[in-house]
């Protein structure tokens, strides 16, 4: 869906200017034609061919002119937009400069009549195309079905020497929408759970290596499965209350036992051998229930915990030892370990090796973020302490209400504030866990676009990101949608309750006035929506309000005689958007609809 949108692009000279070489301007398109070719480095790769096709399509949609794609050896004396580590980019020093920016760093540079688009590695060269389109031509990659491409008769580029590298080497949104490999590339998300296959049809193309962490988390159970090994090696598992205890959740290893280290080191080395494509391996604790961590209470583990002043002490020593063995045989690989719940505090004695990444799981207030005066202090301190101790600190951030994917979720401001803070605090990788299970999660597209933009460039203004999203995605309904989102912000920031982590009760915490006002505002948005796609997008915004009304009609002002009509509208949106899951777990949307139908009838 391509919608012209007036975005002031840096690249558009005023009509008074005379484009030409004397000004250093590159006239890419004028009078319905172009002298330029799109040239791919040699040897070309499928990913760079894809990037060239993306550029050709974007320029064609913007101007109506389709450029020819060639490899660099076939430019034939014409000016070119060169993609990747071309000989031209090499000769001008641009490749060396790009490599210094890291794999995903990008350079957009004019050289004579040519334009160079390249990155530190192949992935960066793909991203450079999007950086050029977005920053200099005003294109916006909002969602799989919504790209904004401002129309222009002329495409004229001023002299450019632009370079950019995100401070986050790992950028992931755990969301159903990242199953679309093209959207993932356009939004420059590089996480290993996202589909990193680019090409058409969606998802079936060439794999571009992302920042893959595998196993992804809680690998203790993967490496030392309690069901298989507890009986044979009880002393490999945590001593809890005088008994050895093994369990995938709430059970931990005895990290001070040398036999466990030997077993796991061998496991990780074998894993590295079998998976040369995986750059980062998780060596981390099992999941746990608050207050029932399962941490080992044996003499050796307790001595380390006391010496380090942290339950992470035994785990960090263990992860460091495995990292040393891995780096000796597989240089360049990294080990990632998680710190959260009982292991959040930084060990006082042992520091993570440079090849160890520590990933902290968000442990603050859901609505007010890390800066929450009531719940943020422990996590703020942990961030600073780990940052002072480790070279690489990532964050696992919780972005939605897992108990109610479809409830209103007033965390956009806190989410944006936290992502910007991570950049300021020197965190260099972030994953935001959203609704991975189903399309149609509350504000899923906006939340992902906001995260992707801030993870790529945390200096951006979150409200500007929101405005450009709404203008492109909701069209003529954007004004009403922005009013609705502003009301949601006011509710979130003024909420008197503080809620940790990821699940909360919307019946108790959502003000009925917010729902009533939201229904009115979004009703106007529905009337204002220009076409069917926009109407459906606005209808998806209404789902959370109907969801509350249907479940708690008294509190949220639903007259029972209107229940069947609201349910019919709710059902239509759920079915049209293939929504399968309304809270974390197996698909449960159909059961919810049945339950509501039993209450309200057809």
Output 372 or 567, the one with its CB closest to Zn ion.
372
Nearest to 264 by CA among 329, 307, 315, 309: 315
Nearest approach, Cβ of residue 269 and Zn ion (Å): 23
CA distances from 314 to 296, 322, 334, 352 (A): 10, 13, 19, 12
Output 84 or 238, the one with its CB closest to Zn ion.
238
Residue 316 near residue 352, CB atoms below 8 Å: yes
Residue 194 near residue 184, CB atoms below 8 Å: yes
Distance in angstroms (rounded) separating the CA atoms of residues 397 and 191: 14
Distance in angstroms (rounded) separating the CA atoms of residues 302 and 291: 17
Distance in angstroms (rounded) separating the CA atoms of residues 518 and 118: 45
Nearest approach, Cβ of residue 224 and Zn ion (Å): 13
**Binding interface with Zn ion (CB under 5 A):** 254, 256, 296, 298, 301, 365, 368, 372, 498
Nearest approach, Cβ of residue 313 and Zn ion (Å): 11
Nearest approach, Cβ of residue 193 and Zn ion (Å): 28
Output 185 or 315, the one with its CB closest to Zn ion.
315
Output 379 or 600, the one with its CB closest to Zn ion.
379
Output 141 or 237, the one with its CB closest to Zn ion.
237
Residue 581 near residue 437, CB atoms below 8 Å: yes
Cis peptide before 215 (omega within 30 of 0): yes
Nearest approach, Cβ of residue 36 and Zn ion (Å): 53
Nearest approach, Cβ of residue 255 and Zn ion (Å): 6
Report the residue closest to Zn ion, judged by CB. Answer: 365
Non-local CB neighbours of 176 within 8 Å, separated by 6+ positions:
435, 436, 437, 438, 439, 441, 444
Nearest approach, Cβ of residue 502 and Zn ion (Å): 14
Output 142 or 264, the one with its CB closest to Zn ion.
264
Output phi, psi for 335, to 5 deg: -110, 135
Output 51 or 370, the one with its CB closest to Zn ion.
370
Q: In what order do the strands lie in the sheet with 161-164?
A: 68-71, 37-40, 80-83, 114-119, 106-111, 161-164
Output 277 or 299, the one with its CB closest to Zn ion.
299
Largest CA distance in the chain: 84
Nearest approach, Cβ of residue 499 and Zn ion (Å): 7
Pairing of strands 106-111, 68-71: unpaired
Nearest to 28 by CA among 75, 77, 63: 63
Distance in angstroms (rounded) separating the CA atoms of residues 113 and 21: 8
Output 119 or 294, the one with its CB closest to Zn ion.
294
Nearest approach, Cβ of residue 162 and Zn ion (Å): 39
């Amino acid at each position: 869906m391509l919608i012209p949108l007036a975005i002031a692009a840096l690249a558009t000279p005023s009509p008074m200017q005379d484009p030409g070489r004397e000004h250093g301007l590159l006239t890419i398109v004028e009078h319905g034609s172009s002298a330029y070719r799109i040239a791919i480095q040699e040897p070309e790769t499928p990913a760079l061919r894809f990037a060239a096709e993306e550029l050709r399509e974007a320029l064609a949609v913007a101007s109506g002119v389709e450029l020819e794609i060639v490899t660099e050896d076939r430019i034939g004396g014409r000016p070119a937009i060169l993609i990747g580590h071309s000989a031209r980019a090499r000769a001008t020093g641009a490749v060396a400069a790009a490599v210094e920016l890291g794999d995903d760093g990008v350079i957009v540079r004019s050289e004579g009549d040519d334009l160079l688009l390249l990155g530190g590695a192949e992935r960066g060269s793909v991203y450079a195309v999007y950086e050029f389109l977005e920053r200099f031509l005003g294109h916006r990659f909002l969602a799989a079905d919504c790209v904004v491409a401002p129309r222009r008769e002329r495409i004229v580029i001023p002299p450019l020497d632009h370079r950019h590298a995100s401070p986050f080497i790992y950028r992931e949104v755990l969301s159903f929408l990242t199953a679309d490999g093209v959207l993932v590339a356009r939004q420059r998300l590089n996480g290993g759970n996202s589909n990193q296959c680019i090409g058409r049809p969606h998802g079936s193309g060439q794999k571009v290596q992302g920042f893959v962490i595998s196993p992804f988390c809680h690998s203790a159970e993967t490496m030392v499965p309690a069901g298989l090994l507890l009986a044979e090696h009880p002393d490999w598992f945590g001593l809890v209350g005088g008994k050895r205890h093994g369990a995938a959740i709430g059970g931990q290893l005895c990290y001070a036992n040398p036999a466990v280290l030997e077993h796991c080191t061998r496991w990780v080395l074998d894993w590295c051998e079998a998976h040369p494509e995986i750059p980062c391996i998780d060596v981390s604790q099992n999941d746990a229930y608050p207050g029932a961590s399962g941490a080992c209470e044996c003499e050796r583990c307790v001595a380390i915990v006391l010496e380090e002043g942290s339950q992470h002490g035994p785990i960090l020593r263990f992860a460091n030892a495995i990292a040393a063995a891995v780096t000796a045989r597989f240089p360049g690989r990294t080990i990632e370990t998680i710190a959260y719940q009982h292991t959040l505090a930084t060990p006082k004695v042992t520091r993570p090796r440079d090849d160890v990444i520590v990933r902290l799981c968000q442990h603050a207030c859901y609505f007010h973020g890390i800066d929450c005066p009531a719940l943020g202090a422990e996590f703020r301190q942990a961030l600073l302490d780990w940052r002072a101790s480790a070279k690489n600190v990532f964050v696992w951030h919780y972005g939605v209400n897992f108990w109610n994917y479809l409830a209103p979720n007033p965390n956009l401001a806190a989410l944006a504030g936290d992502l910007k803070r991570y950049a300021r605090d020197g965190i260099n990788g972030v994953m935001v866990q959203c609704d991975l299970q189903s399309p149609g999660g509350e504000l899923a597209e906006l939340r992902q676009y906001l995260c992707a933009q801030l993870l790529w460039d945390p200096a951006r203004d979150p409200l500007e990101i929101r405005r450009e999203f709404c203008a492109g995605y909701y069209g003529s309904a954007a004004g009403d949608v922005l009013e609705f989102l502003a009301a949601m912000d006011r509710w979130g920031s003024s909420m008197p309750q503080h809620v940790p982590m990821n699940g909360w009760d919307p019946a108790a915490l959502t003000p009925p006035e917010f729902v009533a006002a939201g229904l009115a505002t979004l009703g106007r948005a529905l009337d204002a929506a220009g076409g069917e796609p926009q109407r459906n997008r606005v209808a998806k915004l209404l789902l959370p309000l109907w969801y509350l009304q249907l479940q708690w009609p008294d509190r949220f002002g639903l007259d029972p005689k209107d229940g069947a009509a609201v349910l019919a509208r709710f059902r239509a949106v759920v079915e049209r958007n293939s929504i399968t899951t309304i809270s974390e777990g197996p698909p449960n949307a159909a059961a919810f609809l049945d339950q509501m139908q039993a209450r309200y009838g057809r």
